[in-house]
């Protein structure tokens, strides 16, 4: 019997077992049964507020930034995934891993999905409006890369760059919300996040490379092919190296030492992933992709320490 479960959902997830049945298609549309994307959207926000606090001084308002960004990441990731599924509904129906998603499987209509997306964006906006005018401006600008990303795979071999811009925009929002001046360090940290996204989403894209080739969808996984490990090495060095540069620009003393330890731990986790990667094993690719939550949290933990010392 088809229960509506999505093929790549986390086993035993709360949506399929605890959520009210009428809500399940919408929660699946928002990927609530696959929380890794929320983590990957949220973690750069935490990087941003932590490094901004380390560059100036922590404030009590930072606690609300952390909480607000957490709620906002859940909602905006849900809205972005809803938009992605609306635009990709024909592609998703042609790919084995995605044809069970709510729109191609018929659980939700396009019209219903549009309303669901609007609700999530509206609630996110209420949170954004508490973060100050500069952060609000950055938040509004974030809608542009979110809107463009689903179409990127149609015209470029580098759609992961567009995903990286969208998923790491929280660096700008959280940094500005803290009240610290937006500096070169902000830009460098943002670029570090994009390099990280290129790393983890290339691994993710290897799951679908055969189906993508059949339907003409472009990705870095298809572009790099057997050279993937070489490219991932470059992205690892860029991600950790740029984060270290951002720390060196904005911090000093013990704060800088803790931030650099975070960069080392971050790089170490990515190296661990590469040593286990088999690009021809979809299960391995999915497991390693999900493990990037821990890589990002390692960096966030040390950056938080840098802010508090």
Would you list the DSSP string of 93-155?
A: TTSTTTTTSTTTTTSS-HHHHHHHHHHHHHHHHHHHTTS-HHHHHHHHHTHHHHHHHHHHHHH
Looking at residues 22-44, what average pLDDT do you find?
Answer: 93
Q: For the ranges 62-71, 84-93, 118-127, 204-213, which has the lowest average pLDDT? A: 84-93
Whether 5 is in a domain gets the answer: no
C-beta separation of 173 from 182 below 8 A? no
- The sign of the CA dihedral 127, 116, 114, 119 is negative
Whether 8 is in a domain gets the answer: no
Instruction: Output the pLDDT for position 1.
Output: 38
Tens digits of residue pLDDT in 120-164: 999 999 999 999 999 999 999 999 999 898 889 888 999 999 999
Which domain covers residue 50, as residue numbers? 15-308
Whether 4 is in a domain gets the answer: no
Q: Mean pLDDT highest for which of 13-27, 90-104, 260-274?
A: 260-274
Whether 10 is in a domain gets the answer: no
DSSP reduced 3-state for 95: coil
C-beta separation of 187 from 52 below 8 A? no
- State the distance between the two ends of the chain, measured CA to CA, in whole angstroms: 56
**97/247 Cα distance (integer angstroms):** 39
Burial 257-287 (b: 16+ CB within 10 A, else e): bbbbbbbebbbebbeebeeebebeebebbbe
- 18's CB contacts (< 8 A; 6+ apart) are none
Number of domains in the chain: 1
Domain of 252, CATH number, reads 1.10.357.140
Instruction: Output the pLDDT for position 2.
Output: 46
Tens digits of residue pLDDT in 50-59: 999 999 999 9
Q: How confident is the model at residue 169 (pLDDT cuts 50, 70, 90)?
A: very high
Whether 6 is in a domain gets the answer: no
Whether 9 is in a domain gets the answer: no
Whether 155 is in a domain gets the answer: yes
Residue of higher predicted confidence among 264 and 31? 264
Closest CA to 47 of 287, 271, 295, 289: 295
Whether 189 is in a domain gets the answer: yes
Strand (E) or helix (H) holding 175: helix 170-178
Question: Which pTM was predicted?
Answer: 0.92
For residue 151, count other CB atoms closer than 10 A to its CB.
14
Closest CA to 290 of 10, 6, 5: 10
C-beta separation of 294 from 269 below 8 A? yes
Looking at residues 32-52, what average pLDDT do you find?
Answer: 96
């Amino acid at each position: 019997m088809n229960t509506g479960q999505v093929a790549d959902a986390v086993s035993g997830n709360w949506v399929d077992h605890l959520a009210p049945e009428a809500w399940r298609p919408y929660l699946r549309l928002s990927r609530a049964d696959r929380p890794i994307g929320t983590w990957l959207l949220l973690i750069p926000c935490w990087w941003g507020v932590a490094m901004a606090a380390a560059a100036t001084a922590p404030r009590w308002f930072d606690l609300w930034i952390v909480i607000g960004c957490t709620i906002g990441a859940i909602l905006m990731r849900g809205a972005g995934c809803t938009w992605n599924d609306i635009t990709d509904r024909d592609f998703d129906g042609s790919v084995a891993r995605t044809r069970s998603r709510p729109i191609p499987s018929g659980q939700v209509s396009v019209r219903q999905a549009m309303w669901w997306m609007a609700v999530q964006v509206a609630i996110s906006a209420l949170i954004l409006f508490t973060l100050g005018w500069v952060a609000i401006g950055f938040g509004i600008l974030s809608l542009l890369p979110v809107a463009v990303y689903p179409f990127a795979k149609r015209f470029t071999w580098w759609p992961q760059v567009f995903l990286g811009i969208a998923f790491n925009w929280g660096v700008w929002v959280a940094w500005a919300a803290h009240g610290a001046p937006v500096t070169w360090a902000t830009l460098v940290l943002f670029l570090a996040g994009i390099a990280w996204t290129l790393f983890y989403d290339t691994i993710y894209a290897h799951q679908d490379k055969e189906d993508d080739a059949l339907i003409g969808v472009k990705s870095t996984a298809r572009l790099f092919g057997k050279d993937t490990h070489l490219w991932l090495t470059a992205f690892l060095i860029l991600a950790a190296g740029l984060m270290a540069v951002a720390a060196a620009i904005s911090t000093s003393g013990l704060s800088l030492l803790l931030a650099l330890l975070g960069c080392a731990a971050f790089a170490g986790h990515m190296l661990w992933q590469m040593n286990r990667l088999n690009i021809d094993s979809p299960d391995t690719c999915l497991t390693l992709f999900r493990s990037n939550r821990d890589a990002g949290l390692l960096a966030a933990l040390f950056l938080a320490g840098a802010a508090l010392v």
